[in-house]
Chain A
């Protein structure tokens, strides 16, 4: 029996290959969308982690020799004896591969191979045979040494114990740098005494950039969530249609004596096999998409860390798993609903249409109720949500509520249009559209989500960019930043620079507790730099004047939010009272900050000495100034922070984020467009009986085709109208709730009407393209097919 039933079930697909194709394509595309976004995300994160972990750059300050040459190993021993927590590093290139040697016992946790300990044997690393760690590509290029393959190592890099690396690089007895661990003990001997020819090199990627990458990831994660939702709707639509098409066959099979349980079981197995097949195709497709997008991501990270980051993708088992999981899991969820519905369906034909209509009516009611419930929940969450969970719950309720509500909204709109319609054709058009809505609603939901995701994410990224560029101008206003090593250097710098630059702005800070929160208080010298560049979220009209007069304080948004501090409130530092006169946006820093006038700061914290200086000067003079400075004072250019460089990197990140999100946006839209195409194609056969009477009454097939096209575009239009406010609500949730939860600051939201308009045009285009083929097919339906409707009672 099983074989006979299977042949019957399968014969449906062979006779209707288009339906099989749309089913598989729907599942595969949903999987591709999901796994593509995941792949980009995971790869970006993995590269980032590998780069950071392997090189320790961007994370830790380090000591290097002033002249850039290697130092004697003995320096490490002396520094440790003097109480410094440092770890030696040797590095070099061999056949173009970057060789890094670290000392596992003293290296900071998470740096280098120590972090490989999860999947590799640390004991082996420490033992005599000391292998090299590298990813598979790199390993292929390394000869003559033991290589352990680990994909956690940055591309084109091999790490080993310092001894092995020294031997390989012919650097026995010397090291290149000392990594300075965070949390140094007090009372250690000054470095200038122990090792006078070392200079401290400030970590390259400061916290600013760390935050930026985090936001980049958050972005992609949010997008992953949205693409997941779109994918789920598409899977649901594909499975729903697959059942819809075969409902009559199922009934016949049952009437002929196939037990329901067997049928359900066989169909479930059949669908799971399809899901698996489509899932595999989907992951491969997603991989392709990600590979196309990834060079941009890789370039971003390369810019960030100056490290090699693979521009190619590794197929990580986790994507296969998660990609197949969404295909199979999504199918299982969608199919179990459809199967349950199927098994409740009465067997008899007579009962069918009525029961179907009743069931559909009940479903619509339940769906409407659920939508209302979710949207009200999201309204409540908008006011109450704080924290990441609340933020993502808000995103979820908004998305799903709006998607479920869409058919209802469209139905109401169409009802209004149909009562207003003049003329029989128009009247029929609206009524017929209403009738078709249930079949199209899942595809339209996918389109809604895709468009809303577009609006939401691009609003978020653009707002972020605008805000951040402004912030960088404010914070990196000085042309040059120099970090000195001691008081003597500071004095020398000031003496040298005083005549040569427009202004010297010492940067000094003290760790304090403000409003019960740990915070840093900074001093500010009375200079136009602050007045010109700093933008307040809230302030009194003369905030800087008051601050420089010594009576007042300005604080960052994080502190204001965490300690719940408002303007005009009074804060005390060392039992001196300050009025809060301004709250500024601070997007590069996780903790609380405050700024007071320099004289007051010096009075309160006499022990703090400025070791960072901002210098205002003509940007063209920076280079000459640095070399003159080194000649006169011995302050090395390595002690300068190139702010133009930091700015450029930051902007670069945004450009890349932009490219990637735009590409993902277009991909999502394309997939939603495909979902519409699938639905229209599958509906087309069921449409014939509905269209035949209109044809018989005098509409030409060509007219009918045009009407079908117009219908799709009109529905896309209405969907776009719903998508815009939904997208803006999403953006708001991302900026005002999720971002606050993740980073402690709220991003101002900007609107980009031109972008939205372009998006709407894209969406309409996608809908028109999707509808074109089915419409053409309809216009070419042989009259015989239309006539059959009348000759056969169906």
Chain B
């Protein structure tokens, strides 16, 4: 099993006291599988994704990726998982403003020592970024930046791709193209894909669909 999430709990401390967002979430995803995660705004989708990506720690439960439980791991181990096997497309683009588009795309692959220039170039081409490789992120539109972020995530060929509304900033046509690309790439590389989306249409194109409500999978 690529990803096995077991009984995850997460509580935020706020000014008005503790606020429990996730109350025992279970979720499994195999290699090559695609899964849509839906739910109301504020239901905890991003929170769950961040936990799976090792960006935050759950209060309780286990998150096993390729046999490693990252829920209890330290910063270095979680960073290694992020570098090596998990790619996250964030809700915010999180590009490095001082690097060119080409360098941004190559960056994570270089971190993981999996840089393949041809693959990166091909990705840029299919994402429609070939003409923008020497530009800096601030010179791109929101949709273009999102495509750079996606290409960057896919460049090291991660085993698991986590995407938080990757097409939220894109017009319908572009969104469809990007979606096609991500599904193709997942199929090509055998990666698992977990995607948060509000769009029923997009959710329908993925293999499975889970709905998050009141802190659990409904």
Interface of A toward B, CB cutoff 8 Å: 1, 3-5, 7-8, 11-12, 14-16, 248-249, 251-262, 346-350, 788, 791-793
A788 to B140 alpha-carbon distance, docked (Å): 11
Are A258 and B92 neighbours in the complex by a CB distance under 8 Å?
no
Are A259 and B142 neighbours in the complex by a CB distance under 8 Å?
no
A residues within 8 A CB of B98?
A: 8, 11-12, 14-16, 249
User: Does B113 reach chain A (CB closer than 8 Å)?
Assistant: yes
Are B82 and A347 neighbours in the complex by a CB distance under 8 Å?
no
Are A252 and B111 neighbours in the complex by a CB distance under 8 Å?
no
User: Does B108 reach chain A (CB closer than 8 Å)?
Assistant: yes
* 7 tightest A-B CB contacts, nearest first: A257-B83, A257-B82, A15-B98, A259-B79, A4-B110, A11-B98, A259-B76
Choose from B76, B96, B111 the contact partner of A261 (Cβ within 8 Å): B76
How close is B108's CB to chain A, nearest CB, in angstroms?
5
Are A1 and B111 neighbours in the complex by a CB distance under 8 Å?
yes
Are B50 and A4 neighbours in the complex by a CB distance under 8 Å?
no
Are B108 and A8 neighbours in the complex by a CB distance under 8 Å?
no
A5-B111, A348-B50 known; A11-B79 Cβ under 8 A: no
Minimal Cβ-Cβ distance residue in B for A253? B96
The size bracket of the interface on B is 20 to 34
B55, B112, B136: which has the most chain A beta carbons within 10 Å? B55
A1 to B95 alpha-carbon distance, docked (Å): 17
Among B36-89, those with CB < 8 Å from A are: 46, 50, 53, 55-56, 75-76, 79-84, 88
B residues within 8 A CB of A346?
A: 56
A347 to B90 alpha-carbon distance, docked (Å): 13
A residues within 8 A CB of B92?
A: 349, 793
A248 to B90 alpha-carbon distance, docked (Å): 14
A residues within 8 A CB of B126?
A: none
User: Does B31 reach chain A (CB closer than 8 Å)?
Assistant: no
A4-B107, A258-B111 known; A249-B97 Cβ under 8 A: yes
A262 to B94 alpha-carbon distance, docked (Å): 20
Choose from A11, A16, A349, A791 the contact partner of B99 (Cβ within 8 Å): A11
User: Does B121 reach chain A (CB closer than 8 Å)?
Assistant: no
A residues within 8 A CB of B136?
A: 15
Are B56 and A15 neighbours in the complex by a CB distance under 8 Å?
no
Are A256 and B108 neighbours in the complex by a CB distance under 8 Å?
yes
A residues within 8 A CB of B26?
A: none
B residues within 8 A CB of A251?
A: 94
Are B111 and A260 neighbours in the complex by a CB distance under 8 Å?
no
Are A255 and B82 neighbours in the complex by a CB distance under 8 Å?
yes
How close is A592's CB to chain B, nearest CB, in angstroms?
67
Are A256 and B111 neighbours in the complex by a CB distance under 8 Å?
yes
Choose from B46, B94, B103 the contact partner of A255 (Cβ within 8 Å): B94
User: 8 other contacts beyond A5-B111, A248-B97, A257-B83, with CB at 8 A cut-off?
Assistant: A1-B113, A7-B103, A12-B98, A15-B98, A256-B108, A259-B80, A261-B75, A792-B142
How close is A339's CB to chain B, nearest CB, in angstroms?
14
A257-B79, A259-B76, A260-B79 known; A15-B111 Cβ under 8 A: no
A residues within 8 A CB of B112?
A: 1, 257
Choose from B50, B79, B88 the contact partner of A258 (Cβ within 8 Å): B79
A350 to B51 alpha-carbon distance, docked (Å): 13
B residues within 8 A CB of A248?
A: 97
Are B55 and A348 neighbours in the complex by a CB distance under 8 Å?
yes
A255-B88, A261-B76, A792-B142 known; A8-B83 Cβ under 8 A: no
Minimal Cβ-Cβ distance residue in B for A256? B108
Are B111 and A257 neighbours in the complex by a CB distance under 8 Å?
yes
How close is B157's CB to chain A, nearest CB, in angstroms?
14
Interface string of B182-206 (1 = CB under 8 A from A): 0000000000000000000000000
B residues within 8 A CB of A788?
A: 138
Among B133-192, those with CB < 8 Å from A are: 136, 138, 142, 152
Cross-chain pairs A/B with CB under 8 angstroms, 13 sampled:
A3-B110, A8-B96, A8-B99, A12-B98, A256-B94, A256-B108, A257-B79, A257-B82, A257-B108, A258-B83, A347-B55, A347-B56, A793-B92
Choose from A14, A260, A350 the contact partner of B75 (Cβ within 8 Å): A260
